[in-house]
Structure 1
């Protein structure tokens, strides 16, 4: 990838791999989220989404932490820059700014390719917002998490309060968000926030890479469809979700991927799918 970002880095570790790495790259600031991040992150995801070489995206952080939350300088600038002559205009401008920040996180769900979070070190505040939008989450045992916003006199507004209850349950989400307490990767596994924990960062990187390569080897139409149907069905009644997947499959089920999958099963070989 040739794009130059101030807050991110994209890497393909092997030219033959369909797994791409998207790193939050502000290690000197604990990978806190700057204004640049909120502009660059959706652009980077869109670039990977449109890249036929990319099948799966692993989201991680450079340095000692995944993400220590939103940069306090950005919070301060929002407070100063949105002030207007009257409270109505101040509120309207602030709402637009919050929606802008929200769109960067929601871009994870809008990306067709699966996004896997690999968490080490701190995952605080905005970091939790980000991973709750990811499709799968893994961490090290000693990673630590906090829905931190109440400690900054903020109601979390980038997605944690909307997505976290569906992942860990309403009661657990309420307790974590009200207390802002720190919890470990092991507790995150018990809560269901992460699917699996690894003993070290090196083990995390190796394990998540193997999982991602396995997903990337599957039918891209099936993988894309599975992500989209699950996300859409999350907020639908059962009959609506079934209707949605019937409509989806009526458009893509009869594909070359299906023919290749059946042929590979009969021939006892690994299927080879065209890029998407």
Structure 2
């Protein structure tokens, strides 16, 4: 599949996905919203990638929604009445939300490497990732308030689980930028770097370390962490017990122990390829 909005490189079981519209400050046009979920699905169906690093090009990570998306939607409205416009807008927002939720739903971890501005929908995007890393010149802005809008593509359901409530409210109500130091202080990012090159190199190494582990174990960790975020302790204890009862593999544990003792990479079973919607139904 060809991608207009992304560059993709797969090496050592890590998929490095780069936003590739630096001349437009990596703003998100209509193609972006269609390509991202298709790209993630493609990587999952292949099964070779065990981690994704999402980085960008140019001075800014992303300035959010491209104005062309708003222009195209306005042109499509035509003579639609208020009810029709509201229904269409609702459907569009749900589609946009799904474009980012695919990162959270992916079976493999997604690590974001952020430089410069991460604005509006850029914040929606990175909060859907598993971890975030940033350069010291990075900043984050819940910008929609400045445009008389309420952020609706995923920022609030996720950032409220990452940062203190009062800080989120301040950022949302004022629309002010939050610098990298503050983002680190409040837990939005894991670590800061002096340069984009240093950051990307480091994050790729972290992703490679993740990719060296048993894929099913990492997948289980991601599922449990997301479940714990949204459920009670009792619910999550029950869920992890059921998960391990279903997926625990003695052979994988033995291989991990042998690999550590012999100081070699583990030879683990890959995640099964995801069936595409148009594939013949396979029942194990």
* TM-score (normalised: structure 1): 0.94
* TM-superposition CA deviations, 1:173-232 (whole Å, max 9, x none): 111111111122121111111000011111101111111111111111111111111112
In structure 1, stretches of 5+ residues that fail to align are: none
Cα distance change, pair 231–83 in 1 and its aligned pair in 2 (3 A): farther
Query: Structure 1: how far apart are the matches of 2:117 and 2:171?
Result: 16
Say whether the 8 Å CA contact 1:143–1:185 is kept in structure 2.
yes
Shift of 1:80: 3.8
Deviations 1:80-133, CA, capped at 9 Å, x for gaps: 424553211211111001111111010101111100000011110000000000
1:199 to 194, 197, 205: 194
Distance in 2 of aligned mates of 1:93 and 1:267: 59
Residue pair 1:8, 1:25 contacting (<8 A) in 2 also: yes
**Residue of structure 2 equivalent to 1:9:** 7
1:54-73 to structure 2, matched below 5 A, reads 54-73=49-68
Instruction: Measure, in 2, the Cα distance between the counterparts of 1:189 and 1:210.
Output: 20
Q: 1:268 to 1:26 in 2, by over 3 A?
A: closer
Displacement of 1:51: 2.1
2 CA distance for matches of 1:82 and 1:171?
38
- For residue 55 of structure 2, give the secondary structure of its aligned residue in structure 1: strand
Structure 1 residue ranges, 4+ long, deviating more than 6 angstroms after superposition = none
SS in 2 for 1:155: coil
Give 1:266 deviation, angstroms: 4.5
Cα distance in 2, alignment partners of residues 84 and 90 from structure 1: 9
Give the corresponding residue for 2:237. Answer: 242
How many residue pairs get aligned? The number is 271
Kept in 2: contact 1:165–1:172 (CA 8 A): no
2:55·2:200 contact (CA, 8 Å) conserved in 1? Answer: no
Q: Could you tell me which residue of structure 2 aligns to residue 146 of structure 1?
A: 141
From 131, 139, 157, give the equivalent of 1:136. Answer: 131
Tell me whether 1:258 sits opposite 2:256 in the alignment: no
SS of corresponding position for 1:85: coil
Q: 2:181 aligns with which of 180, 183, 186?
A: 186
Whole-Å Cα distance in 2 between the matches of residues 80 and 170 of structure 1?
38
Call closer, same or farther: CA 1:274–1:182 in 2, change over 3 Å: same
* Whole-angstrom CA distance in 2 between matches of 1:270 and 1:6: 35
Alpha-carbon RMSD across the aligned residues, in angstroms, is 1.5
